[in-house]
Structure 1
Amino acid sequence: MGSMDGGAFRRMLRTLTSDVDELDARDLAEDVEETGARPARDCACGEEVTMLGRIRSVELGPETADASLKAELFDGTDRVTLVWMGRRRIPGIEAGRTMRVRGRISVRDGRKVLYNPYYEICQAQ
């Protein structure tokens, strides 16, 4: 059996013992960096941003005049709530999908929010 240098062994051991969510977050953060999108952790209120991430959850608002569709986008660094006002459903917006979104960051109740973002659903890799 061939020898493995200390760094490679430590990386392999870290991969084997890491939490799946932690590995997913690391992979997402690398994808964000490669595409030139902005990491969510670095976005501040009022900035126009482009982000890439995976939808973790989708919530349908009540069937009223102020209906909205909310989705939580995670890019490996932070979560951002996407809110489409006046919409109850958007085809393709579902948990597990990877998306590129663009809009102006707001902060509501201490959480980052993009209202009515432009979006592109990315193909699974």
Structure 2
Amino acid sequence: MANTGLLKRLGKMLTEDLENVEEERVQRESEAANVERATGAQCARDCSRGDEAVMIGELRSVETCSRNTHSGVRAEFFDGTDTVLLKWMGRNRIPGIEPGRRLTVRGRVANADGMKVVYNPEYELHADE
């Protein structure tokens, strides 16, 4: 009867909203990486303005902003629970910072335009799997 569980999971995956499946996948991987690396990482949803945070997740998008006073690299970081904008000021490119890349970030959480932001975060790139 082991196949029954497999069939239930497969049926759930086929009928469940793909975004929810992706969120659950990222959250599971982030939690597993936290246990493996013993970083003491927290969920992005639990971070608030002023917190010094350590989070594990992946980059959904990365863009370079070259406007005069706002130059830098912006990345959308997601850990399965919430999205945090990462901003590296004064940089036009950061090797390894690319969409889909998994990483651990450390920094103080701020709030800008109603969104969580970490400016110039420290980061550790995870090995590609």
Shared fold (TM-score, shorter chain, > 0.5): yes
Q: Is 1:70 equivalent to 2:69 in the alignment?
A: no
Q: Is 1:21 equivalent to 2:25 in the alignment?
A: no
Q: Tell me: CA distance 1:63–1:107, structure 2 relative to 1, closer, same or farther (3 Å).
A: closer
2:41 aligned partner, one-letter code:
A
Q: Tell me: CA distance 1:118–1:11, structure 2 relative to 1, closer, same or farther (3 Å).
A: same
Q: Is 1:121 equivalent to 2:125 in the alignment?
A: yes
Q: CA deviation at 1:18?
A: 2.5
**Partner secondary structure for residue 93 of structure 1:** coil
Equivalent in the alignment of 1:91: 95
Write the distance in 2 (CA, Å) between the matches of 1:65 and 1:13: 51
**Partner secondary structure for residue 53 of structure 1:** strand
Q: CA deviation at 1:104?
A: 0.4
Q: How many residues align?
A: 123
| Greater mean deviation of Cα atoms: 83-92 or 8-17 | 8-17
Q: Which structure has the greater CA radius of gyration?
A: 1
Unpaired runs of at least 5, structure 1: none
2:12 aligned partner, one-letter code:
R
2:93 aligned partner, one-letter code:
R
Write the distance in 1 (CA, Å) between the matches of 2:87 and 2:80: 20
Deviation sequence 1:58-78 (CA, Å, 0-9, x none): 111115354111000011111
How do 1:33-44 residues align onto structure 2 when only pairs under 5 Å count?
33-34=31-32, 35=34, 36-44=40-48
Normalised to the residue count of structure 2, the TM-score between the two structures is: 0.84
Write the distance in 2 (CA, Å) between the matches of 1:77 and 1:8: 26
Report the aligned-residue RMSD.
1.9
Write the distance in 1 (CA, Å) between the matches of 2:116 and 2:43: 12
Q: CA deviation at 1:110?
A: 0.4
Normalised to the residue count of structure 1, the TM-score between the two structures is: 0.86
Unpaired runs of at least 5, structure 2: 35-39
2:91 aligned partner, one-letter code:
R
Equivalent in the alignment of 1:11: 9
